[in-house]
Structures are given as structure tokens and as C-alpha cells.
Amino acid sequence: MQKTYVLDTNVLIQAPYALQSFEDNHIVLPLAVLEELDALKSADGERGANARQTIRYLEVLRAQGNLIDGVPLPAGGTLRLEMNCVDVRLPEGFPEYKNDNRILKVCQALKEQQDKVVLVTKDILIRIKAQVMGIEAEDFTTEQAPISTEQYSGRCEVFVPEKVFEGFEKNGISPHDVYQVDEDGQKLPVALVCNQFVILRSDQSLRKTQLGRFNGKKIIPLRYKRKKPYGVTPRNVGQYFLQEALMTGAEEAPLVIVKGMAGTAKTFYTLAVGLEAMLEQETPQYRKILISRPNVHFDDDIGFLPGDEAEKIAPLLRPVIDNLELLVDQNEKERFADECSLSGKVDDLFDRCIIDAQALNFIRGRSVAKTYLVIDEAQNLTPKQAKGIITRAGMGTKIILLGDPQQIDHPLLDERTNGLSYAAEKMKGSPLCFQITMSAAECVRSALAMDAVQRM
């Protein structure tokens, strides 16, 4: 049964290709949406670019027929503009002049004419207002990842027969030799994903464990588990897996996606491996470490801030600086005895161009070669931004996306629609992508942080 979808402007601003995503159903654009696109078409940054892209596509469709009457879409279905519905009554307290309410008017009028009308909007409050009016409303789900508990974690735990377990270090293990157990004690086969990390347990003694990675053919031992990048030693299973993903060369693992709550050492460990690759190798593996942190307001406004680029983005780099201070002086007792000396050591890394920092909108559109590219707080990326960054990777570049999908600042993103979760699901199973989700139990920030995780 065909449906009629009424699209809000914010859908097109985040995903300008959305008009091509509704198969053979009908799409309606209220006049208010055109007016909002018109107001955004001159804006800087991604919002303006997406508005212009949407407008150009509407012009292509306009050339094919009358948008008021409706025109066919390439994937099936139709698109039309709705100019009427001005006389539709809104509930008490809904101002007539607000564009959101003008869109709801269109939905109400269409609902009175036909059965299946759905408002598609990224705005949660508009979805609530639609519910008040009895209008079906939903998020734009084309870019939506599964709920957090069902998202790919990059790791699993399996049982192995004792004899096979003993030969793991020498021969690896076939995926057909491992199994899991259900609630009734029945053995279940395991469908492993390429580059998935595996905790192996002997089925004769649960105390016997090994750590490995499925390379697409068999489970192999971790290559870097005995390494201590820049003097840092893994403290838990998650960090062993994280170290393996980060230390694997860019030719084999050009993309690493790390999810996990604050305090699990995502940024700290990433910087440690980067410094190891730059400073502790006879020949540096990369030209430089390039760091960027998306900020929902900052990226579009950077041109209006005083100072050069480094001064403009300095406030966003404070968490990175905090981690570098821990790395450049690992003597915990004496580290903060001389703040000037400590600050000088960190500044030296930037002055020597070992580490560089750039605003996210300066990275998009470039081809980045032989660079250790760290995108911190990647949960604030849109799916389009995540795709734009990953597709910028040149030869010899390693891209690391770090973030916590539970801590999102972007008003139109959530744990299922952010660029970090989107990239993780789309790149799942890629032989060029390593992924790991750090667990809450692997928080290493402090005793208080761990206690708070368990209690709160």
C-alpha cells in the first residue's frame, strides 16, 4: 500500500538525497519547506551546501513537469508541492506563523483526505506535536543504525575444544571449531565477521583464555599484544584489542572505529600509538598526527572567530592536550611539579609538526595522504560528514573515529543516526576496517570514575 510522506526541512538539510529514498511512495513538500531552503541556500558549511544540493535536484524535477501537480521520481513514486492548507485549524496554543506548525497543517489536511500520511522529521518536538494532533510521525531511518544494544561491538566470546585451544598460537583456529552456549546449555555455531576480535575460552577450563582476531578465514593470535606503545601497557581486554587495531599498519587497517564511554582511554591510547609511530620508529610511519573534533556550532562559525586557525580551534583541543600531558611525562609523582616545562613538552609536538590540529570543515574536501588522522568526539558527525572524512583517505593514511554514541550534542542526531554509529554499521565486515566497542567495566580514568560507572 502506497503512503504519502510529508518531509520536514531538517531531513533534506541532513540528507539531501532523501527525496530519492522513499521507493514508490508519494512525497509532499509544504511551501514552508521551500521557504526554509531559500533562507539556508546562502549559509556557510554543510547546511548551506545541502540546501543548495536539494534546490538543484528540485530544479531537475521542475524541468520534467509541474511540481504542483506532481512529477515522477526515478526510484518510483511522485513528488509534489503543497501550497494550500492555510485554512486548516491547529490545536489551541499552536501559533499559526511558525513553519513547523504550517507543516503540521499540511499533514492534517492530507490526513483528512487519505489514510496513510506520515510526517518525516528529525525534530523530536515536532514528532510530539504531531502525536498530539493524531498524525503519524517518524524519524528519517535510511541512515539509522540499530539500537545501541544491537550495534556491532567488534568483539565476541566463544568456547573452543581443549585440543584445538592448545594449538591456537601456532596454527590459529577455524571458525567452525568455536561455539557459544545458549541458556539450555546447547552449543550454537558462531557467525564471525571479518576483523572481529575474539575472546577464546577452553571448554575444559574457563580460566584458560586467549585473545584473537578473525581475519576472514581463521582466528589468529593478536600480533601486538606484547607491545607497549609509547610506554603504555594495556590494562584490560578492550585495550588489548584497541592496541591491535591501532598498531596494525595503514595498508592493512586504514580505518579504525572505536566506541565507548568517557574514561575508557580511547583518545589516550590512540595518541600513544600515534606518538609511537612518529617518534619511536626508525622511519616514521606517517607524515604527522592530524587531530580534529567536530563541534555542532563551531564548524560553521570558525571564520568569524579572531586569530589564526590554531587559535580558533584551541578550545576544542583541551581534552587532547590533557591526554598529551599524561603521555609526554609518565612520571605520575613529578608530572605536574613544573607546569611550564610540561606545557613546553606538549607545545614542542605542535611546533615540530608532529601533531597538527584542524577544524573539521578544513579537512573535508581534501585528500589526506600518509597521515594518522584522529577524529575525536565523532558521535557529533552527521552520516554525510563521516562518509566525507572516510573517503578523504589517501595512500598510507590511517583514520581513527572515536566517540561515545550516548553523548551527543548535535540537536538532530541521536545514538542511532549519528555518523559514528552509521559508519560502524556500514563498514562492519570490511577487511579494511577494525572496530572495537569499549565496555563500561573497562573505564580506567580513576577509582571514582569506575565507581560512578557502576553506581550511576
Full-model pTM: 0.84
pLDDT at residue 32 is higher than 50: yes
Cα torsion through 191, 416, 244, 316, rounded to 10: 180
Average of per-residue pLDDT across 218-244: 96
Q: What does the angle CA 306 – CA 308 – CA 314 come to, to the nearest 5 degrees?
A: 85
pLDDT at residue 433 is higher than 90: yes
Q: 40: pLDDT confidence band, cut at 50, 70 and 90?
A: very high
What is the residue extent of each domain of the chain?
Answer: 4-138, 145-221, 245-455
Cα separation, 386 vs 370, whole angstroms: 19
Which position has the higher pLDDT, 263 or 317?
263
Give the C-alpha distances (Å, rounded to integers) separating 306 from 292, 302, 311, 313, 406.
19, 9, 8, 11, 32
Q: 310: pLDDT confidence band, cut at 50, 70 and 90?
A: low
The pLDDT of residue 364 is 63
Q: List, in order, residues 6 or more apart from 169 with CB less than 8 Å away.
A: 210, 221
Range 245-455 has CATH code 3.40.50.300: yes
Can you give the three-state secondary structure of 236-279, one letter per residue? CHHHHHHHHHHHCCCCCCCEEEEECCCCCCHHHHHHHHHHHHHH
Instruction: Express as a percent the part of the chain with pLDDT over 70.
Output: 92
Average of per-residue pLDDT across 26-54: 93
Average of per-residue pLDDT across 412-424: 92
SS3 393: strand
pLDDT at residue 299 is higher than 80: no
Q: What does the angle CA 339 – CA 278 – CA 321 come to, to the nearest 5 degrees?
A: 30
SS3 429: coil
The pLDDT tens digits of the residues spanning 275-298 come to: 999 999 999 999 999 999 886 544
Q: 332: pLDDT confidence band, cut at 50, 70 and 90?
A: low
Average of per-residue pLDDT across 86-102: 89
The pLDDT of residue 297 is 46
Q: Which of 110-114, 283-287, 303-307, 363-367 has the highest mean pLDDT?
A: 283-287
Q: What is the CATH architecture assignment of 4-138?
A: 3-Layer(aba) Sandwich (3.40)
Average of per-residue pLDDT across 74-89: 88
pLDDT at residue 382 is higher than 80: yes
The pLDDT of residue 298 is 41
Cell 574536501 belongs to 365
Average of per-residue pLDDT across 79-102: 89
The pLDDT of residue 210 is 96
Cα separation, 83 vs 74, whole angstroms: 23
pLDDT at residue 453 is higher than 70: no
DSSP3 helix / strand / coil % (the chain, rounded to 5): 40, 20, 40
Indicate the helix (H) or strand (E) that contains 73.
Answer: none
245-455 and 145-221 share a CATH fold: no
Classify strands 355-357 and 371-375 as parallel, antiparallel or unpaired.
unpaired
Average of per-residue pLDDT across 172-187: 92
Q: What does the angle CA 15 – CA 19 – CA 21 come to, to the nearest 5 degrees?
A: 85
Q: What does the angle CA 237 – CA 242 – CA 244 come to, to the nearest 5 degrees?
A: 100
Fold that domain 145-221 belongs to in CATH? 2.30.130
Residue of 401, 383, 387 lying closest to 437 (CA atoms): 401
Structural contact between residues 155 and 40, judged by C-beta atoms closer than 8 angstroms: no
Cα separation, 136 vs 117, whole angstroms: 7
Average of per-residue pLDDT across 56-73: 95
Structural contact between residues 139 and 122, judged by C-beta atoms closer than 8 angstroms: yes
Mean pLDDT of the chain: 89
* Amino acid at the residue 209: T
Indicate the helix (H) or strand (E) that contains 414.
Answer: none
pLDDT at residue 340 is higher than 90: no
Cα separation, 158 vs 203, whole angstroms: 9
Give the C-alpha distances (Å, rounded to integers) separating 414 from 144, 198, 392, 420.
9, 29, 25, 10
DSSP state of 368: B
pLDDT at residue 17 is higher than 60: yes
Average of per-residue pLDDT across 238-263: 96
Q: 185: pLDDT confidence band, cut at 50, 70 and 90?
A: confident
Helix (H), strand (E) counts: the chain:
17, 18
* Amino acid at the residue 57: Y
